[in-house]
Amino acid sequence: KDAERIKKEGLWIYGKQHTVENYIQTGPDTFCGTCCGWVHGAHRRGRADKPVCLLCGEGHLTRDYKCCKEDCTASSGKGCRHLVRRCCHCGGSHTARSGKCLSKREALKAAKDRRIQTQLAYPQALITAQPIPELNDMEVENTEKEL
């Protein structure tokens, strides 16, 4: 209830109004319906200027895909019996989300490895961090004089 109100009205921070959007968690297997990339969703709009069709791998949104046969009755954005599937990642005869795509499997593995590495790096940094030594009054006075 509060979240919907904040989303509608925005937030005021330090006298400035800010818009608010829903938080959408992404992971290594998040697929972007705009650019057919992995690890981010279409909500990020990062590559909205370079759309890629999931079905044929061409430079248009999937919803704009239209069969090249004039007599085909398939709706826009839908595959049909005339569709020649082409993966935009590897050029294979499958769609970009297909489990057959080696490029997809490699991209997902690399993203998962990065996530694991990040999760391991942070706790290790906490363990190896040295505590900041306390300064006594004399050291504080000397430091202030140097400034």
* Interval 42-77: pLDDT, tens: 665 555 678 999 999 999 999 999 988 888 888 888
Tokens of 14: 């330090």
Write down the pTM of the prediction.
Answer: 0.57
Tokens of 133: 């030594």
Residues pairing with 67 in the sheet: none
Tokens of 9: 């009205």
User: How high is the pLDDT of residue 140?
Assistant: 47
Beta-carbon count within 10 A of 33 CB: 16
SS3 127: helix
Tokens of 38: 């992995």
Are 35 and 96 in contact by the 8 Å Cβ rule? The answer is no
- pLDDT tens digits, one per residue of 90-124: 999 999 888 888 888 888 888 778 777 777 665 55
* Arithmetic mean of pLDDT, 12-40: 79
What is the distance between the alpha carbons of residues 112 and 1, in angstroms, rounded to a whole number? 35
CA distances from 8 to 11, 23, 36 (A): 9, 14, 30
